[in-house]
Amino acid sequence: MINIAGLEKRFGPKVLFSDVTLQLNPRERYGLVGANGSGKSTFLRMLTGEEGGDAGHIVFGRQLRLGVLKQDQFLADDQPIVQVAMQGDQEVYEAITQLEAITHQSAPNAEQISHLNERIAHLDGYTLESRARETLLGLGLLGSQLDLPLGTLSGGFKLRVLLAQVLVGRPDALLLDEPTNHLDILSIRWLEQFLKTYAGCAVVISHDRRFLDEITTRILDVDYQTITDYPGNYSTFVERKELFQQQRTTEIERAERKIAEKQAFVERFRAKATKARQAQSRAKQIEKIEVKEVVRTSRRAPTFSFAPERPTGRDVLLVDALNKAYGDRRVLHQVSFTVRRGEKLAIIGKNGVGKSTLLKILSGHLSADAGTFGWGVHAKLGYFAQDHHDLLFDPEVTPLSFVWDKVPQEPTSFVRGHLGRMLFSGDDVEKKVTTLSGGEAARLIFASLAVERPNILLLDEPTNHLDLEAIDALAAALREYSGTLLFVSHDRWFVSQIADRIIELKEDGLHDFAGTYTEYLARDGSDHLDVDQVVLTAKQDKKQKAEAAPPTPELNYEERKRRANRLKTLPKRRDALMIDIEGLERERASISARYAEPSFFSSVPEAEQRKLREREQHLDKALEELMAQWEQLETELAELEATS
């Protein structure tokens, strides 16, 4: 499907990768992994043709359609959400748009209508809207939202629409850069199932271990200035790479040891006449020993360090009966808890219960509708927002100036030192913050938190955009942090590594558990970070709500008789309607078939063509009315069956 031979990419003297030869095949799902800055996104851009290589070539299969998730793609806020998703199948969407424009003309061109109808039918275009709606619902949007303008959605949900647009296009190859960002657990599960049944080739960048383990069949590792293809999922790759690195190190050490032994012999006996010939022979042997050039791994972990300027008092936070709603949707209800110094508190719960909202209120970035909260003495907050790019909008700001602004009294060397620990070195500190990648932006925020030295950290999804090495390093630093930590994360491994207290937000308040996440689960806690458990819980909630519905009042004899009669007659009426609908659809299809006849427009009189168009319009209206009646009957029948 996609053949890559001898591919090379450099940025000045820096080699990202060279001599890359790969074959990307259908029904394979490739996880593209590597350190931030190693060249993962560059490789994706090369696959899309947005960026060229310095050597080698990429060959695509004939008429291969690429579907690419671009996080910065322009979206029109005034367009209906479902239409934005439909635009993913560009060829069909354009044909449908042209057909609608022509049919609304005062004198529509029948030949054009016929041609477009045939083209749309050939491309299975009449399913486009239903496919778009199904995909949007799978990614967590509500049915009531789909016809609203895109501008009514938050940034995170706009990215879901963008992902839907890519998937609706039915590409032969998918290139997805961090597709799970801003997805809840149920939407991630839906995407996993979609990718598992996807017949094309998928290349996915993700820093979510569980997601990679679920979907990948192979791993493309960008490291050692090349890209290596490993079979299996991410966990298998980790084991295989560790073994490969051990073998590589052993080979190099063996060669270097052999050279050292022979070199020592030469140095020792070179001056002795009796050994001179042997020494010369050993010197020639040394020249023949081949030692592979040692290419350093691009895997680099930042050095996170959070040292509070001073400790807080014993009582850090008191929250009393906080409430928050967005219109009619209540997200926080009577939330009350206290926090003591040094606690590491994970806030978990179903999507939409107000986890991020709570952190925004506590950090002062949002007001509560009711209730109070108060920080203890000497409290100094550090806040990491889930959408932190709002802080990095100024095109004149650089990483150096951004961090230095937090500690203007410190020398440049102090700021550069902290930036260096966050992997900003050399000219990197003078880059414009608006050009930073997601991982670089996250590391810059952490660098600013490190110099501010807060004794309370509020972190909202801190692992988003970080690579796997950085996530490991961040977890280690937070375990060592002597201050107080409140954080939200969907990463189960991360939560398990850090939290010593769990607050589970619920629709009617919260559940407070003093212990680790593992201990919380052992006490029958709901695993909101496990996909299968979340799906099961959602089903159980639906069942419980149905069981908790108020009992149906006792019906009298006449009402029971009336319902029984309706239950007998409605299915017959429904079936009769379906027969009528199928008959009208067949007639409409026959008219479309006539339009498609080669000599139709030249041999059929204009008057007859006009009659056919009028009949087609009549059929469309009749079908619409019959479908509405059918839906009404189905709804009534379902209600009667549920209460009988």
- Residue where a domain terminates, one of 124, 153, 171: 171
Residue 140 shares a structural domain with residue 117 = yes
- Write the CB contacts of 86 (distance below 8 Å, at least 6 apart in sequence): 92, 93, 96, 128, 129, 132, 168
519 domain residue, yes or no? yes
Provide the CATH number for the domain around residue 593. Answer: 1.10.287
597 domain residue, yes or no? yes
420 domain residue, yes or no? yes
- Residue where a domain terminates, one of 517, 544, 571: 544
- Residue where a domain terminates, one of 113, 140, 171: 171
Residue 587 shares a structural domain with residue 440 = no
Which one, of 50, 66, 65, 70, lies nearest residue 9 by Cα?
A: 50
Phi/psi at 238 (nearest 5 deg)? -60, -45
Helix axes 128-138, 155-168, angle to 10 degrees: 140
177 domain residue, yes or no? no
- Sheet strands (E) in 507-603: 509-513
Tell me what pLDDT residue 578 has: 74
* Beta bridge pairs of residue 203: 30, 175
Residue 420 shares a structural domain with residue 482 = no
* Beta bridge pairs of residue 382: 457
365 domain residue, yes or no? yes
Residue 439 shares a structural domain with residue 483 = no
198 domain residue, yes or no? no
- From edge to edge, which strands make up the β-sheet containing 509-513? 381-384, 456-460, 484-488, 344-349, 501-506, 509-513
Residue 428's domain spans which residues? 399-452
Tell me what pLDDT residue 185 has: 67
Residue 495 shares a structural domain with residue 539 = yes
Residue 524 shares a structural domain with residue 499 = yes
Residue 479 shares a structural domain with residue 436 = no
Provide the CATH number for the domain around residue 484. Answer: 3.40.50.300
Low-confidence ranges of the chain (pLDDT < 70): 71-75, 185-186, 262-263, 265-266, 268-279, 282-283, 285-296, 351, 389-390, 524-561, 592-593, 595-598, 600-602, 631, 638, 641-644
Which one, of 530, 454, 539, lies nearest residue 490 by Cα?
A: 530
Helix (H), strand (E) at residue 11: strand 2-11
Residue 535 shares a structural domain with residue 422 = no
478 domain residue, yes or no? yes
Tell me what pLDDT residue 536 has: 47
Is there a contact between 484 and 312 (Cβ–Cβ < 8 Å)? yes
Alpha carbon distances (Å) from 413 to 252, 425, 546: 37, 12, 64
308 domain residue, yes or no? no
Residue 86 shares a structural domain with residue 155 = yes
DSSP 65-133: PEEEE-TT----TTSBHHHHHHTTSHHHHHHHHHHHHHHTSSS--HHHHHHHHHHHHHTTGGGHHHHHH
Q: How many residues does the chain have?
A: 644
Task: Please tell me the total count of domains within the chain.
Answer: 4
Residue 339 shares a structural domain with residue 484 = yes
Alpha-carbon dihedral angle through residues 530, 531, 537, 541, given to the nearest 10 degrees: 130
Residue 585 shares a structural domain with residue 486 = no
Residue 463 shares a structural domain with residue 362 = yes
Query: How many beta carbons lie within 10 A of that of residue 294, not counting itself?
Result: 10
Which one, of 198, 461, 202, lies nearest residue 351 by Cα?
A: 461
